[in-house]
Amino acid sequence: MTEQQRPAWAARLGAEREARGWGKFAMARHLLAAVGIAPSPQKVKTLTRQILGWEKGSHFPRDWAAAYSAAFDIPEDELFPAPPHGRPATPVGTVDQSPTPDQGDDDVKRRAALQLITALGAGAAVPPGVLETIFAGIEDALGDPIDLAEWEATVHEYGQLLITQPNGTLISALTADIIAVGELLRRHRGSPDASGLLRISAGLSGLLAIDLGDVGDKRAARASWSIAKRAADASGDRDLRVWVRGRAAQDAVWAGRPSAVVTDLTNAAIGIAAGAPSAGLARAHAAHAYLAADQGDAGRAHESLGALKRAFDRLPDAPDDQSVLAYRESQLRWAESYVHTRAGDRRAATTLTQAGALYPSDALGPVVNLSLMRAILMIKAREIDSGLETALAPLRSRPVTVAGGTSQLVRQILRALPDQARALPAARELQALTARARPQSTTT
């Protein structure tokens, strides 16, 4: 194509880019940022080739026109004043809210459609809020209903997935749903649905805090727990208020936070519960037991275990499905196993067997940790080689599961080794695996 044949819009794209001092790689990064996609090296490289074709006028950037407009901060109709022959005035996928749509609303929907198409094409997660924007016109036509039961089911599903999914994989989806519920809260503030939406927000925020903690982002996890507590308190749901504090206390133990933080959370949960049985109350007693066991106070640890068992016995009958929102017998036996292992109690072997039989094989974090507890018992019994192999086996096949309580258990294994055994190849391998592994879950 000669310069005379080159479309005006193509020349304009190159001129605007050069006027800003951007190379084609920088242009690609700006376009990706405009549609909310992280500019990975491969995505930048792929998009750079397309930019070259667009600036030559070989192809019209139909799906990227809105992104160019945003990147250059130039209205789209000014940047592309006349669509080429055959290009529709309204891009495919744009949804008008009404027979006479507002141009600003149309631009927002066009941008959202572009973000969706681009994200799916790039194999990336759909940015938060995009689907809600696309469906906004339909929601308005339906009267903007809120299906609280559906949202509650979503929270419950996340609670189950956190047990089995690789950690960190739910962060994006949880974040998007929190944003969506936040928008619903903004629109329905003061309505009868507000307390239900606050309850859902608290649940989602607590689940996000768990996943953030499991990938080692302690600051973000603390912020998420803080929001979860405030939303739960505002919802007025007592059991949820107790769960948020009880579960946050457990995570605080694994994160190595000060003992005063754990104690404050457990005491608050127990106080709010006022004796009423709930999964959150059981978790608060479990956190108390973990902390006491870690501090070497076997008497207080077993006292907390007794309180945990009494709280568990009063829970209503429930399905056996594993969920971080519930408290099942498997989790009770896990807590007993941890305390008995830390205290050197001979009952540890029995409770480890019981816990292992109750957890499904896909409950990765709990299953790995039970293996590490068995390894501690073996090493204390001077079965050094067998103990190290028992610890290494699950970590070799799933090294990404190392974090939180797992890291604590590995440190306990290394401390339990006799001095001369710490130089063994298996001991060095165990230390290396946990040192380089990405932080992951011990979620129970």
pLDDT tens digits for 157-194?
A: 999 999 888 778 888 888 888 888 888 888 888 889 99
**What DSSP character marks residue 421?**
G
Is there a domain that residue 34 lies in?
A: yes
Taking Cα atoms as reference points, which of 218, 231, 336 lies closest to residue 285?
336
Query: In angstroms, rounded to a whole number, what is the distance separating the alpha carbons of residues 168 and 210?
Result: 9
H or E element that contains 57: none
pLDDT at 98 (0 to 100): 34
Percent of the chain with pLDDT over 90: 46
- What Cα–Cα distance (Å) separates residue 360 from each residue in 11, 109, 149, 210, 280? 61, 44, 28, 20, 22
**Whether the predicted pLDDT of 124 surpasses 80:** no
Angle formed by the axes of helices 404-416 and 364-380, to 10°? Answer: 10
Is the four-CA dihedral 71, 72, 74, 79 of positive or negative sign? negative
Query: In angstroms, rounded to a whole number, what is the distance separating the alpha carbons of residues 12 and 16?
Result: 6
Query: In angstroms, rounded to a whole number, what is the distance separating the alpha carbons of residues 193 and 367?
Result: 40
Most confident of 48-62, 104-118, 194-208, 350-364: 194-208
DSSP string, 297-319: -HHHHHHHHHHHHHHHHTSPP--
Domain that holds residue 23: 8-141
Is there a domain that residue 163 lies in?
A: no
Query: At a CB cut-off of 8 Å and minimum separation 6, what does 181 contact?
Result: 151, 197, 200, 201, 204
Is there a domain that residue 113 lies in?
A: yes
Taking Cα atoms as reference points, which of 327, 279, 322, 328 lies closest to residue 160?
322
How would residue 133 be classed by pLDDT, with cut points 50, 70 and 90? low
Is there a domain that residue 50 lies in?
A: yes
pLDDT at 235 (0 to 100): 96
Q: Which residue has the tokens 């939303």?
A: 231
Interval 189-240: pLDDT, tens: 888 999 999 999 999 999 999 988 888 888 889 999 999 999 999 999 999 9
Query: At a CB cut-off of 8 Å and minimum separation 6, what does 274 contact?
Result: none
CA 293 to chain CA centroid, nearest Å: 29
Query: In angstroms, rounded to a whole number, what is the distance separating the alpha carbons of residues 175 and 177?
Result: 5
pTM of the entire predicted model:
0.69
**Whether the predicted pLDDT of 393 surpasses 80:** yes
CA angle 79, 81, 85 (to 5 degrees): 120
In angstroms, how far apart are the furthest CA atoms of the chain?
Answer: 88
Is there a domain that residue 162 lies in?
A: no
Taking Cα atoms as reference points, which of 247, 245, 164 lies closest to residue 210?
247
How would residue 403 be classed by pLDDT, with cut points 50, 70 and 90? low
Is there a domain that residue 42 lies in?
A: yes
Domain count, the chain: 1
Is there a domain that residue 53 lies in?
A: yes
Interval 19-39: pLDDT, tens: 888 888 889 988 988 887 877
Is there a domain that residue 389 lies in?
A: no
Q: Are 6 and 57 in contact (CB under 8 A)?
A: yes
**Whether the predicted pLDDT of 46 surpasses 60:** yes
CA 165 to chain CA centroid, nearest Å: 10
